[in-house]
């Protein structure tokens, strides 16, 4: 009886929290759900990294609905193909006409293998894209790894810095020519508010002297912002824009490396369902920056909830951004 009573109380509390949370996060979901926008991205090709789950999957679904041709760059091809099948089914069930380049309805969906923890894979992926794609209108650097135990990429880089920053750094640089020839085009970088707790230690970028998984994640997200600002400076006059965003706190599998004690899990799940954004809610700023006419020509800015936000001074340090770019070029082999 006592267990049943507690369960009922938790359920009631959860319902109340859920309803309260909708009042705060609901409006952002409606921003792009306007009538008459189903063809907004028709004829445009969008590449999304990590598009088989979470934010990436939600972003892919919405851009498909808007008519884009979406390339899913994913590490696990099997899981990506499964997600692609589900997305096609969901789009059709939602009443969007048949997917395809000439259908006049939803966009086309393409799956390609991409492992950002392997520079070899990044190069192979980009070579395939450059050979097969005549244009690239939007690149969304979405994939990431969050607070994992200390491990290294195939090339010997600390995993979070290697995947979240270096893998995307190489990917973007290798695709810049195609983005420029497709201009006006856009690059969207997914960072995090947790950048505030990181710094760039050029003496130990690989975290071999000291590793703290939370700090290293924050460092990689700060690197995303510095990269975006330096790239925006380099792209001035090319009609290619680049902006960075934070999605807020979202319910995704990004936190799979976080250990939550068994007894605490029910409370954590309750709180997450009440106050964390859904993937679709979290993806709204990515979708906005990829498709909205409102940000045409805007570059080098930091966004949250589809609005520009201020950055801490350390994220606007031009000398650090320039040095990080130069060091990254050497690390990924662009410069010897």
Task: Please list the active-site residues.
Answer: 217
**Which pair of structure tokens corresponds to residue 271?**
């709180």
Helix (H) or strand (E) holding 15: helix 2-30
**Separation of alpha carbons 238 and 44, rounded Å:** 18
Closest CA to 187 of 243, 143, 122: 243
What is the DSSP secondary structure assignment for residue 298, as one 8-state letter? -
List the one residue out of 214, 213, 210, 180 whose CA is nearest residue 197.
214
Token readout for 122 is: 């990044």
Cα 30 off chain centre by:
20
> What residues form DSSP beta bridges with 111?
72
Q: Confirm if 270 and 17 have CB atoms less than 8 A apart.
A: yes
Q: Can you point out the beta strands (E) in 95-147?
A: 109-113, 138-141
At 152, is the secondary structure helix, strand, or coil?
strand
Integer Cα distance of 143 and 157 in angstroms: 17
Token digits for 142?
Answer: 């979405």
- First-to-last alpha carbon distance for the chain, in angstroms, is 70
Residues 6+ apart with CB under 8 A from 155: 118, 119, 162
CA–chain centroid gap for 191, Å, is 7
């Amino acid at each position: 009886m006592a267990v049943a009573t507690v369960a009922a109380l938790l359920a009631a509390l959860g319902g109340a929290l859920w309803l309260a949370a909708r009042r705060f996060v609901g409006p952002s979901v409606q921003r792009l759900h306007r009538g008459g926008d189903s063809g907004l991205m028709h004829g445009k090709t969008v590449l999304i990294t990590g598009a088989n789950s979470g934010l990436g999957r939600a972003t892919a679904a919405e851009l498909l609905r808007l008519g884009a041709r979406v390339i899913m760059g994913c590490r696990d091809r099997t899981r990506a193909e499964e997600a692609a099948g589900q997305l096609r089914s969901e789009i059709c069930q939602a009443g969007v006409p048949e997917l395809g380049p000439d259908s006049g309805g939803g966009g086309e969906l393409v799956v390609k293998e991409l492992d950002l923890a392997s520079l070899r894979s990044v190069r192979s992926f980009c070579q395939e894209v450059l050979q097969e794609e005549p244009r690239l209108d939007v690149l969304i650097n979405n994939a990431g790894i969050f607070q994992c135990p200390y491990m290294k990429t195939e090339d010997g880089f600390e995993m979070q810095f290697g995947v979240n920053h270096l893998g995307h750094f190489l990917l973007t640089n290798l695709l810049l020519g195609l983005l420029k020839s497709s201009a006006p085009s856009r690059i969207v970088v997914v960072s995090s508010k947790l950048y505030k707790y990181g710094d760039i230690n050029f003496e130990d970028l690989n975290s071999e002297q000291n590793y703290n998984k939370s700090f290293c994640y924050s460092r990689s997200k700060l690197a995303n912002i510095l990269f975006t600002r330096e790239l925006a400076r380099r792209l001035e006059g090319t009609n290619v824009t680049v902006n960075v965003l934070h999605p807020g706190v979202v319910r995704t599998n990004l936190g799979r490396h976080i250990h939550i004690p068994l007894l605490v899990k029910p409370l954590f799940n309750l709180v997450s369902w009440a106050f964390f954004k859904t993937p679709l809610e979290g993806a709204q700023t990515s979708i906005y920056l990829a498709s909205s006419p409102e940000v045409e020509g805007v570059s080098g800015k930091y966004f949250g909830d589809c609005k520009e936000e201020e950055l801490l001074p350390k994220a606007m340090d031009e000398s650090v951004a320039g040095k990080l770019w130069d060091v990254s070029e050497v690390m990924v082999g662009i410069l010897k």
